[in-house]
Copies of this chain bind each other. A is one copy, B any other.
Amino acid sequence: MPTVKDVARRAGVSPATVSNVINRKGNVSPALVESVTRAIEELGYRPNVLARGLRVSRTYTVGLVISDMLNPYFSEIAAGVERVCSGRGYTVLFCTTGDDKYAEAKHVQVLRDRQVDGIIVASTGAGNEVIEKLVADGYPVVLINRRLDGVEADSVVSDNVGGALQVMDYLVSLGHRRIAFVAGARDSLPSRERLDGYLRGLAKAGIMVDNDIIRYGYLKYSGGYEAAKYLLALPDRPTAIFAANDMMAIGVMDAVLEAGLTIPQDISLVGFDDTMLSSLKRINLTTVRQSYLELGEIATKMLLDKLSKRPGRRSLKRQVVPCSLVVRGSCAHVTAKTNVPGVGSAAPAGR
């Protein structure tokens, strides 16, 4: 591999001049620019980014910490991060934590050791000390869907509360008053926020909270399935079920069908996330759309903007990205309960 020296020799100039040509600095005469450029091409010279990084202590690399690449939410975030980075000459170094506190700490350290210019954390791992230390050390960090009170870390979160409120308004507008909520794990922030939106929606409509129709479970198909089994067996079963995410909603869906009931005639159902699943004709689930791609993009822009500014300005940025209700065919007006069952994919009464 040729180096600046080789190029310099071939062009009959000094390494410094070669460097100046490459970085368009220090006013080099057109003649030399020309010959250096030719030498670079002839030799197929490529700058060693490592050496440059060592010298200028800037690597144009962004570290990305996510929980799990197999989860579509995170891979969408990763896609957003990569898209913005690649457009601005940055590269992404990524690692996954499996939501393990120690893995998170370890990987953040690895990223620092590799001198990444900044770190984006989209992991729900509970290791707040890691983040606090990062910020305390003056490291540029942006948090996705994770917020630490009292810590000066920029963050971008989706408006889970607002999205859930939209769902509630919609269900209430369809005449539902007995609405169940199927939540994920109690320590999942998004799930908690969606639950919060649910509760606010109830309050807004003047509906009393019934803790018996708020179920907690694993944020997966099985969690929804089990919760629905319970809810459907209730003497006074709900007319609508709001699940904390799409996978759970699909679990609910199957349980409802197994009980011999129909969606949306007997039970209205809403999910959250607008996964690709929800749009399938056989699922056709009303849900809330949140673009995780966008979340990743926004976070990355925040970080890169920060990197290009003087380190002085320490303004704390907290961006909330809105969600939007996507109405499909899984909800009906509450009076539609009297409809003939069995049609399955009837158009929704709403809209």
Residues of A near any B CB (own CB < 8 A)? 46-51, 53-54, 59, 61, 68-70, 72, 75-76, 78-79, 82-83, 86, 91-96, 107, 109-115, 221, 250, 253-254, 257, 277, 280-283, 293
- Across the interface, do B59 and A69 meet the contact criterion of CB distance under 8 Å? no
- Which of B47, B96, B115, B277 is in CB contact (< 8 Å) with A49? B115
- Across the interface, do A95 and B75 meet the contact criterion of CB distance under 8 Å? no
- Across the interface, do B70 and A79 meet the contact criterion of CB distance under 8 Å? yes
- Which of B46, B53, B54, B283 is in CB contact (< 8 Å) with A112? B46
- Across the interface, do B68 and A280 meet the contact criterion of CB distance under 8 Å? no
Given A91-B93, A94-B94, check contact A82 B109 (CB 8 Å): no
Give chain B residues whose Cβ lies under 8 Å from the Cβ of A113: 46-49
Copies of this subunit: 2
Could you list 12 examples of A-B contacts with CB < 8 Å? A48-B113, A50-B50, A50-B54, A50-B59, A61-B114, A69-B78, A70-B79, A70-B293, A78-B78, A250-B280, A254-B281, A257-B281
What's the Cα separation between A112 and B59 when bound, in Å? 14
- Which of B46, B76, B94, B280 is in CB contact (< 8 Å) with A92? B94
- Across the interface, do A82 and B69 meet the contact criterion of CB distance under 8 Å? yes
- Across the interface, do A93 and B92 meet the contact criterion of CB distance under 8 Å? yes
Give chain B residues whose Cβ lies under 8 Å from the Cβ of A111: 91
What's the Cα separation between A283 and B79 when bound, in Å? 28
Give chain B residues whose Cβ lies under 8 Å from the Cβ of A114: 49-50, 61, 91
What's the Cα separation between A70 and B82 when bound, in Å? 11
A130 to chain B, nearest CB (A): 14
A58 to chain B, nearest CB (A): 11
Task: Pick the most buried of A112, A253, A277, A280: most chain B CB atoms within 10 A of its CB.
Answer: A280
Give chain B residues whose Cβ lies under 8 Å from the Cβ of A76: 69-70
Residue of B nearest to A44 (CB): B137
Residue of B nearest to A81 (CB): B69
- Across the interface, do B107 and A86 meet the contact criterion of CB distance under 8 Å? yes
